[in-house]
Each structure stands twice: as structure tokens, then as C-alpha cells.
């Protein structure tokens, strides 16, 4: 399947390190983040960026599924989102990218986050993890300080740790499975201590098996958002017997990335409330 044109441009972007300071003045890129000239620009990653490249896709599930609630996820490349169009099509929840590493904040975050809420959606924010740049606790702090907080108001979903294929270098960010598990644990522990709520883990089963050794220890406390572009979710990472959310396509209507919450809209609001 061909990538969406906007996504293709992100994958193809080759920005020399010497130009980064001019092109991306809103944040400082750590030296370790400048991998090579063929990588996309730091900050351009989004939820599911590597799913097509590593796992491919097959036809998405057809039509609404009873007992599930449609959602979307967005990032800066989608810009100003047609939230009313999404609402009228049946979308009832949304996540927007807030941060990446400790060096990037989404310039469209405020408009996307408040726009979803403005049409009646339950909404939340996610953090794109870069375990090769800074520690898990530091990235959790950065996330919470830049839009990743949570409040028990019934319309704010818990923050999401987006931990997946590395678009900037080696798949596992240069970490062994045990080191990766430690990094994830540090992020989750700090997020819980800052917000009082367990973060959701977004990942692909293939990445989780490769880069954590299929670690099962987070399933008891942290909800799973599984990424698989197919008619079924397939195998889940070890420890989880069910998913909370499923990103099932990158070619859905209006924004591309479409998801399903594994429950009714009432259950969705209960989940938001915690």
C-alpha cells in the first residue's frame, strides 16, 4: 500500500544536520539525535509511523463494530483538523501528539486538543518516545509539563506512551530488551506519580517482541493501545488478554489514522474518568 502523500514526504525528508537549527528553531536537538542525513527531521514522528513499513497492512475491518467506539489520532502534519466532519461521521474520541523526546512540542497541539473537545469528543494526548535521547522519567516530565497531564473530568483521557519503531535509526533505539523495559518502567512510574493515573501503552506486537523480549510485566496496570492495520488485531503482546484501543488503519476518512475503543461511549467516559 502506498503511503499517504503527506506521510511520504515525512519519510523522504532528508535534512542536513547543519540546517536543523534554522529549520526547527522551536527546540534544541540533542547531539545524539542527529543520526544521519537520510532520517526524517526530529519531531516529525507520529503514532504508527513505522507500522506500514515493518508490518504492512491488509484490508481494515468493514463498518462500525458493535460495542466499540470510533476514534482518531492526529499530529502536527495534519494541521487544522475538520473536527465537525469527524464528529458527524461517528468519531467520539481523539488523541493528539503533544511531545517527542525532551526537544519537541507539537505547534498544533492546542488547536487540535481543544478542537476535539469543542465538538464534544473525549480527548487526550500522547508522547512519542525516543529512548536514545534522554531517560524515561525525564521524558515523562516533559510530556506532563507540555500538555500530557490528566484530570478527572470525564472528558480527558489518560496520557499515552507511544513506544514503537524508531524512525530515526535502529529499531530498538540502541537498547537491549532489559534496558528498554527499564526505560519504559521509568516513564510509566514518573507519569503515574505526576498525574495519579496509569499511562496507556501504544505499540505494535512485532516491535514489543523484538525490543522488550515480549515483556509481560506492564499489562496488569497499563492499558494497551495496539497498532495493526488489518481486519483483526492478531496476537497481543505478552500479558495482555485484551486491548483497550486499536489503531486499525492509516487510510481512514478525514485524517487517516482511525482507531477503535473496545467499549461503548459510556465505557469510554468511564475510562476517561478513571
Q: Put residue 48 in one of left, alpha, beta given phi > 0 → left and psi -120 to 50 → alpha.
A: left
CA dist 74 and 93 (Å) reads 11
186 is catalytic: no
Write the class of the CATH domain 42-273: alpha beta
Tell me what pLDDT residue 194 has.
98
Q: Which of 100, 132, 141, 162 is catalytic?
A: 162
Residue whose C-alpha is closest to residue 223's, from 172, 183, 261: 261
HEC sequence for the chain = CCCCHHHHHHHHCCCCHHHHHHHCCCCCCCHHHCCCCCCCCCCCCCCCCCHHHHHCCCCCCCCCCCCCEEEEEECHHHCCCCHHHHHHCCCCEEEEEEEECCCEECCCHHHHHHHHHHCCCEEEEEEECCCCCCCHHHHHHHHHHCCCCCCCCCCECCCEEECCCCCCCCCCCCCCHHHHHHHHHHHHHHHHHHHCCCCEEEECHHHHHHHHCCCCCCCCCCCEEEECCCCCCCCCCCCCCCCCEEEEEEEECCCEEEEEECCCHHHHHHHHHC
164 is catalytic: yes
| Strand 104-105 versus strand 93-100 pairing type | antiparallel
Q: Which of 55, 100, 164, 257 is catalytic?
A: 164
- What tens digit of pLDDT does each residue of 41-65 get? 999 999 999 888 899 888 878 766 7
Q: Which of 55, 70, 73, 259 is catalytic?
A: 73
132 is catalytic: no
Tell me what pLDDT residue 53 has.
87
Entry pTM: 0.86
Longest C-alpha distance within the chain, in Å? 52
Look up residue 244 and give its three cell numbers. 483497550
For the chain, residues with pLDDT lower than 70 are 1-37, 63-64
Amino acid at each position: 500500500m502506498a503511503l499517504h502523500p503527506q506521510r511520504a514526504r515525512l519519510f523522504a525528508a532528508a535534512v542536513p544536520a547543519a540546517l536543523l537549527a534554522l529549520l526547527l528553531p522551536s527546540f534544541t536537538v540533542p547531539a545524539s539525535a542527529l543520526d544521519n542525513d537520510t532520517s526524517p527531521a526530529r519531531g516529525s514522528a507520529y503514532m504508527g509511523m513505522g507500522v506500514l513499513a515493518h508490518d504492512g497492512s491488509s484490508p481494515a475491518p468493514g463498518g462500525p463494530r458493535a460495542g466499540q467506539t470510533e476514534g482518531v489520532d492526529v499530529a502536527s502534519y495534519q494541521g487544522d483538523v475538520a473536527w465537525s466532519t469527524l464528529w458527524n461521521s461517528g468519531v467520539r474520541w481523539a488523541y493528539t501528539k503533544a511531545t517527542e523526546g525532551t526537544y519537541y512540542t507539537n505547534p498544533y497541539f492546542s488547536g487540535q486538543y481543544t478542537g476535539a473537545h469543542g465538538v464534544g469528543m473525549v480527548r487526550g494526548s500522547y508522547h512519542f518516545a525516543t529512548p536514545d535521547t534522554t531517560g524515561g522519567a525525564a521524558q515523562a516530565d516533559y510530556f506532563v509539563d507540555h500538555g500530557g497531564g490528566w484530570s478527572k473530568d470525564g472528558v480527558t483521557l489518560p496520557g499515552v506512551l507511544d513506544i514503537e519503531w524508531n524512525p530515526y535509526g535502529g529499531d530498538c533505539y540502541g537498547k537491549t530488551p532489559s534496558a528498554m523495559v527499564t526505560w519504559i518502567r521509568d516513564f510509566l512510574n514518573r507519569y503515574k506519580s505526576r498525574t495519579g493515573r496509569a499511562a496507556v501503552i501504544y505499540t505494535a506486537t512485532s516491535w514489543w517482541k523484538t525490543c522488550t523480549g515480549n515483556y509481560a510485566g506492564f499489562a496488569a496496570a497499563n492499558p494497551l493501545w495496539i497498532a495493526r492495520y488489518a481486519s483483526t488485531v492478531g496476537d497481543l503482546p505478552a500479558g495482555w488478554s485484551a486491548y483497550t484501543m486499536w489503531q486499525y488503519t492509516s487510510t481512514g476518512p478525514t485524517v487517516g489514522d482511525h482507531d477503535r475503543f473496545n467499549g461503548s461511549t459510556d465505557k469510554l467516559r468511564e475510562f476517561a474518568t478513571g
